Structure formats: C-alpha cells, structure tokens
Amino acid sequence: MSIRLDTPVQYLKGVGPRRAQIFSGAGIQSTGDLLRNRPARYQDRTNFKLIRDLNLDEEAVIRCRVIVAGRYTTPIKRVQIFEMVVSDRSGSMPVKFFNQPYLERVFRKEQEVILFGTVRNDPYVNSIGLVNPDYELIESDAEPMVHTGRIVPIYRKLGQLTTKQIRQLVSQALHDLDPNIEDTLPEEIKQKYGFPHLRVALEQLHFPAASPGQEPELLKRLETWRTPAQRRFIFEDFYSFQLGLQVLKKQREIFPKKRHIRIYPSVRETIKSVLPFHPTAAQKRVVKEIADDLCSSKVMNRLLQGDVGSGKTIVALQAILVVIENGFQAALMAPTEILASQHYERISAYLAKTRYRIGLLTSSVKGAARKHLLTAVQEGKINLLIGTHALIQKKVTFKDLALVVVDEQHRFGVLQRSLLSQKGDRPDTLVMTATPIPRSLALTLYGDLDLSVIDEMPPGRQPVHTILKTSRNRKEVYALVAEELEKGRQAFVVYPLIEESEKIDLKAATEMAEHLRTEVFKNYTVELLHGRLKADVKEELMQRFKSGETQILVSTTVIEVGIDIPNASVMLIEHAERFGLSQLHQLRGRIGRGAYLSYCILIADRFGSREAFERLDIMRKTSDGFKISEKDLELRGPGEFLGTRQSGMPEFIFGSIVRDRDLLAAAHSEAETRLEQVLEVSGNQQSRALKEIQQQWQKRFSLYGVG
Ligand code: ADP
Ligand code: MG
C-alpha cells in the first residue's frame, strides 16, 4: 500500500483505534506528523559482542540462537516470567522478560535473534545475562534491522506506546511511504545548504545510516543535531515561521496610512529647543530611521534596541514630537507605575515650555480625575498620554492616535502590543526593549518588526566597577558603601524576590533593611521598597530617593527597569547568584549614570559551583549588554531568559534558537527572499501563495498569537 504524508495514522499498518487515539492525544494525526515526531535521542546499537566477552553493566548487542524457552509465574508475587537460554559460538547465557507472556509465541527454539541490553548478573543462576532486552528476530539477512545492530532512534513515550513500538510504526510508515512524495522545501534552498530531499531526510532522521565502523562518529553528530537531514528539519521549522512573520509584516504594509506627517522646520525647532543635550550619532541615526517611517505611507512597526542607559527615551520623545507637532496624538506605555510616572515627570519637564498637554494614566488615577483625563484624551486635548497597561483598557479612546511607543516591550504580551495599536487608525508603533536581545531571539520574537539599534553610549559615562564578594566580606563591602555615602552619593541594595518563596524573601529583605537602618548605617536614611507596597507609597519612596532625602534604598527587583538616579553610585546585590545575567546587567545599568565612579557589588553566598562563579565573573569582565544577553540566553534558554512563562515564544519542534543560530539567520533571509518572489508574481497566483503560507503557519504555530 502506498502511504502519503497526509494519510491519517489510523490507516497505517499496526495502528488500531486505540493507538490512533494515543497519537491524536499527542497531536499526531497524519503520517507526516508521525514522521516529524522527532527522536529525543539516538543510541548506537552496533557494539556486537560474543557472549564470552560480555562485561557486567555494559550495553551490548548479541547475535545468538534460542536454545530453550519457557514461561512460568513466580510463586509469591505472581510475576509472569518468560525465560530463555541463548547461545552463540562462544557460550550461552540466560535472558528474562517480565510480564510479557506472549513472547512464548515469538521466540521459538532455534530462532535466530539479535538482543540489545545492559548486561546484568542473574543471582538465581549466578551468571550474567539480560533482562527485558530489545530484540529483533532474524528471518533473512536481507531485511534491514530496526531495533538493534544499528543506530536507533529513541522517542519520548507517547501514552502507553513504548519507544520500541513507535520505532516499529515509524519504520513501517517509512517502508510504505510513497517514494515520490513532494518536497516542502524549494530546490534552490536544498542545493544551497546541502539539504537532502524530504524522503531521504525523513529516513535519515529516524534511521541514520553509517558505514560500518563510523557509527560513533555519526552518533556524535546526531546528538548535536548536525547531520544534513536533521539540519534540514531545523531549517524548515524556522523557515516556515519566518515566512509567516514576513507575510504578517507585508500585510500590515499593504494598507497605506491616511495621515500625512511632515518634518516642518517648526518640528526641528521644537525638538532642538526641548532637548537638554546633543544627541549621540547613534541616536541621530535611529531618529532619522524612525522619522522616515513616520513620514512614509507604510505603517511603522519598529523595534528600538539599545543597551541600558543608551538613551532610548529621548529618541522616543523626538518621535512623539514629530507626531504631535503634526497635530496628532501619541501614547507611551510602560510596564510599571514607577516607570510610567518617571517618564511623565521627565517628559513634562522637557515639554514645560511648549503648548503641549501630557496626561498620566495608571490604575491609581481614579474617580473624577480619571474621567476628566479620559474625556480630554478623547477630545484630543491631551497630546501625549503616558501610562501603564491601563492605556489598553476599553474606556480609553483617542481622537487621533498616530504613534504608540511601548517601553520595555518584552514585559508586555504580544497581544497587549496589538490592543494598543487598535486604538488608532493604523498608528505607527515603536517598541523599545530594556534588555539587549540577542539577534536570534529578536528574529524570533520580533521578526515582523524593523530593527533600529543604538550602539553607542552618551558621552561622559564612567564604566561601572564590578566587584564579586562572598558574605564573609560584608564588613569590607559596607565600608565601601559608607565611603560613597560620605561623599554625598546614594546606594541601592537589591534583594532577590523569587515568586515561590516570596514571603521568606520579603522577610529577609525587611530584616536586612532594618539591620542596615538601625546598626550599620545609623547615620543615614534607609528605606525599603518592594512590590507589595501600594502604588502611591512606592511613588513617595522613589521621590524621596530621587530628591536625595533617602541615602540607601533597599529594594526587591522592582527597580530593575528604567529608573534614572544619577547621584546613585553603588549597587549592592545580595544573593547575586540567584539572578540571571541580563537582570544583573539591568540592575547595574541603574548606576554610573552621573559623572561619578560607581560600584556594582555582587554578593554571592556560596559560589556553590565553579559554574556559578564563572557566570558571575562574566559581569566583571564585560559591560557589553549584547554579549551578556547572548551568554545569558545560552545558559538559561529562552523561557528563563525572557523571565515570563507566557513569553510569546513559538515552540519549534526541531530548532533551538541557541544551538541553531546560524540556521535561524539563514531562514530569516531566505524567507525575505521568498516573499519578494511571491510578491512579484501577479494577482491570483500571489494571493494563493500567501494564503498557503498563512495556513501552514497557523497550523504549526497557531498558539502563538501575533499582533
Ligand atoms: P535607556 O535607554 O536605558 O532608557 P535613558 O533614556 O533613561 O536610557 O537615558 C539614560 C540617561 O542618559 C538619562 O539620564 C538621559 O538623560 C541621558 N542621556 C540620554 N541621551 C543623552 C545624550 N545624548 N547625552 C547625554 N546624556 C544623555
Ligand atoms: Mg528606559
């Protein structure tokens, strides 16, 4: 029978209704799904041995013959045992199987068989032997082996289905598969990257062939996912995702904006008059990129990347000014109330001399004040509305929203991004990230956005001095802090607060603050800031620290993002080993913003392992946020790196954005090329191609809603 990739699994030999149901539960409907169920790992089962040469505890493959076989039940525990004695030309040994009485019908006397298993000592007969080995009957030498005598795939168990059963079904499906199945990748791409045809790739994915003696070599490549067949599937995974993103992007570009935005001389003058300093060359460059987008008829969807402290805020401010000078409204959304009010204050100060009105909307703006504000926004009397996710609530409506700026993006779901955009008539969107995002991750999360990078720091920054200490050096550390306070500087003390142990952590932070206040730094003001405090209390605390009234701010990680206090010159981080590198980098970015030499002190309780030390040592060695985040991504993986469970990351079957960076970049550029080709062909054909890409995409990544 000829099987195709879209043949439902229940039509496969060996799959009845029960198995079909198990497969369906694991998302496997078609033969194609089954064949794309990737092996979790591989095992080299070519280590053929003679019975005489077997060693205890080693994994071995033995080709032998059944001498005697029989079944019995243990008297007390009533376990069914099938036992046989097998022999080869060097000797014989016992083999036992538990609870598989049907084997009686499988192994007949004289049957030739290949066994694979770990050699164990059988205490009853005082001899080495095998227990529950994988086996393969030899009917004729021409049949290729499936379970032994080769490199075999090991699958995750699916319901009741064992890896051996799955292997058997995959082998059967490949055997019956139509030899002329159509390939899903274009010929040019396969040639360019040396990828095999789909048919061959599927075979090599599950049953990789090695020439005799080359198995260990091949196994190594398989384990690191470097074989051409494996790389083909990794590429395809990324490619279909990137294609989908490209289609999304193009679709947004198809409908032109109705508004016209110009950079009038008055715009330039306003910008010049409000900017407190000269922009860096990098800031100028990205402002130009953004301004070009604003003036173009295509809707802007741009990601602005820049390390902490690189000055993203004034770049956003310039974009905002362009828009409001043209008579439209802008919105700026920040992830926390503290950040939103900081933006509000700073921008209000910058724009104090202009005629523009700025509003602040957070959950603490209530009652009449809120109503008043919302009306003003709706009537267009507010030119710029700054706020938290309160901005995306239904009741907020704009008169003419033309620009949406989202600060510290990866804290917002992709969905929230799109909700805000829906409040205007295809507004331009500028997304700013707090953490430098490694390119591989940016391509995945933001592949549908254009990218601008600020790769230069404002002048006059002093590099932050980073010091690693254990808690035994606490006295020394406090002395350093005291010295800074004496000079008139301020200090942050940060405590990790892990969700699972929040209460205990908060208690520790509270006690630490108390200890610092009453004993170590008696002569200074010490305050504690944490996430459980009410918004207005937090706000007051921040104000007192900003104004210099408080010298030491003990805090849980709520200060992580965005806070700007140039007079703070010390960042002391407790339990530094509990933070991710990017988080530490963010925290460190809070200091060294003034003209003073600053210190970031990382206290780790125990360096536990060498690894923990080496990890923290990276902080000492580099201040390059992109390098740090690459390393962080590598060490922790994307889920942890993004720090949110719902990070909007798609699930790739084969690809790892850390391991397969090269293929991800390749897939991105190939997808761009492909889409250009699609857009060159005319009408019907084009829309059919686009539709197909989208359907594919939705099937694979449907859970990943993109806005
Ligand atoms: P981030 O990119 O982390 O959001 P900010 O926008 O908060 O950084 O800017 C960090 C600090 O650098 C702020 O105090 C800001 O006023 C200052 N700054 C930004 N651009 C410049 C510049 N071109 N020259 C001098 N200082 C600048
Ligand atoms: Mg910022």
pLDDT digits (tens, 9 = 90+) for 394-419: 889 999 999 999 987 565 555 566 67
In the reported structure, the alpha carbon of residue 265 is separated from the centroid of ligand 2 by a whole-number distance in angstroms of: 28
Q: Which of 307, 310, 313 to mutate to test the pocket of ligand 1 (most atoms within 8 A of CB)?
A: 313
Beta pairing partners, 494: 555, 573
pLDDT over 50 (residue 704): no
Residues ≥6 apart with Cβ < 8 Å to 287: 279, 315, 318, 319
pLDDT greater than 50 at residue 443: yes
pLDDT grade for 707, boundaries at 50, 70 and 90 = very low
Query: Quick check: 460 pLDDT over 50?
Result: yes
- Give the helix/strand (H/E) hosting 433: none
Q: Could you give the 3-state DSSP secondary structure of residue 313?
A: helix
User: Is the per-residue pLDDT at 614 higher than 90?
Assistant: no
Q: With residue 592 as reference, give the H or E element that holds it.
A: none
Q: Does residue 387 line the site of ligand 1, with CB under 6 A?
A: no
pLDDT band at 446 (very low <50, low <70, confident <90, very high): confident
Q: Is the CB of 283 under 6 A from ligand 1?
A: yes
Average pLDDT over residues 668-694: 85
Closest residue to atom 24 of ligand 1, CA basis? 458
What is the 600 CA–ligand 1 centroid distance (Å)? Answer: 19
Q: Which atom of ligand 1 is nearest to the CA of 566?
A: 14
Strand partners, 86: 66, 93
- Nearest ligand atom owner, CA of 315: 1
Q: Output the residue whose Cα is nearest ligand 1's atom 19.
A: 311
What gap in Å lies between CA 535 and CA 340, rounded to an integer? 12
Considering only the top CATH level, what class is 47-149? mainly beta
CATH of 464-622, one of 3.60.15.10, 3.30.530.20, 3.30.70.380, 3.40.50.300: 3.40.50.300
Residues of the chain with CATH 2.40.50.140: 47-149
Ligand 1: residue of 304, 310, 341, 405 to mutate (most ligand atoms within 8 A of CB) is 310
DSSP assigned state of 377: H
Interstrand relation of 401-406 and 428-432 (parallel, antiparallel or unpaired): parallel
Q: How many CA atoms lie within 13 A of 651 on its CB side?
A: 10
Report which protein residue has its CA nearest ligand 1's atom 5.
311
Q: For 485-521, how does the pLDDT look when each residue is reduced to its tens digit (9 = 90+)? A: 999 999 999 988 766 667 777 888 899 899 999 999 9
Length of the chain counted residue by residue: 707
72 CB neighbour count, 10 Å cutoff: 11
> Is any atom of ligand 1 closer than 6 Å to the C-beta of 310?
yes
Residue 558 has pLDDT above 80, yes or no: no
Question: In this predicted structure, which of 108-117, 263-272, 504-513 has the lowest mean pLDDT?
Answer: 504-513
Query: Rounded to whole angstroms, how far apart are CA atoms 516 and 514?
Result: 5
Fold classified for 265-454 = Rossmann fold (3.40.50)
Judged by its nearest atom, the ligand closest to the C-alpha of residue 308 is 1
The residue among 692, 700, 705 whose CA lies nearest residue 32 is 700
Cβ 163 under 6 angstroms from ligand 1:
no
**What is the Å distance from ligand 2's center to 433 Cα?**
8
- Tell the residue nearest (CA) to atom 27 of ligand 1: 458
Indicate which ligand has the atom closest to the C-alpha of 314. Answer: 1
Strands 91-98 and 80-88: antiparallel
Ligand 1 site, residue 313, Cβ cutoff 6 A: yes
Contact 634, 200 (CB under 8 A): no
Looking at the chain, the domain(s) classified CATH 3.40.50.300 span 265-454, 464-622
CA angle, 663 then 206 then 190, to 5°: 35
AA letter at 212: P
Pocket test for ligand 1, best of 271, 274, 275, 277 (most atoms within 8 A of CB): 277
Compute the chain's Rg from CA coordinates: 32
CA-closest candidate to residue 52, choices 109, 111, 128, 148: 128
In the numeric block, the tokens 């198809």 are attached to 254
Is the per-residue pLDDT at 391 higher than 60? yes
**What pLDDT does 645 receive?**
46
**15-68: per-residue pLDDT in tens?**
999 999 999 999 899 999 999 999 999 999 988 999 999 999 999 999 999 999
Structure letter (DSSP) for residue 101: T
| CB distance 314 to ligand 1 below 6 Å | yes
The CA distance from 194 to 88, in Å, is: 44
CA 70, CA 81: separation in Å to the nearest integer?
A: 8
In angstroms, the CA 427 to CA 385 distance is 14
Kindly tell me the burial class for residue 217, based on how many C-beta atoms sit within 10 Å of its own C-beta (0-12, 13-18, 19 or more). Answer: exposed
Helices 337-350 and 312-325 pack at an angle, to 10 degrees, of 60
567 forms beta bridges with none
Sign of the alpha-carbon dihedral angle for 330, 334, 337, 338 = negative
| Cβ of 564 below 6 Å from ligand 1 | yes
Q: Is 277 in the pocket of ligand 1 (CB under 6 A)?
A: yes
Of 132, 204, 153, nearest to 44 by C-alpha is: 153
Query: In the beta sheet, which residues pair with residue 87?
Result: 65, 92
Which ligand has its closest atom nearest to the C-alpha of 278? 1
Residue 312 Cβ < 6 Å to ligand 1: yes
Distance 310 CA to ligand 1 centre (A): 6
- Nearest CA among 636, 614, 615, 618 for reference residue 627: 618
- What is the model's pLDDT at position 122? 82
Q: Whose CA is nearest to atom 21 of ligand 1?
A: 458
Distance CA 152, CA 399 (A): 64
The residues near 116 (Cβ < 8 Å, ≥ 6 apart) are: 45, 59, 60, 61, 62, 133, 134, 135, 147, 148
Ligand 1 within 6 A of 264 CB? no
Q: What is the mean pLDDT of the chain?
A: 88
What pLDDT, on a 0 to 100 scale, did the predictor assign at position 705?
42
The two three-digit tokens of residue 690, written as one number: 């686009």
Q: Identify the pLDDT of residue 449.
A: 84
Residue 472 DSSP one-character state: G
Interval between CA 16 and ligand 2 midpoint (Å): 58
**Ligand showing the shortest atom-to-Cα distance for residue 408:** 2
| Predicted local distance difference test score (pLDDT) of residue 85 | 95
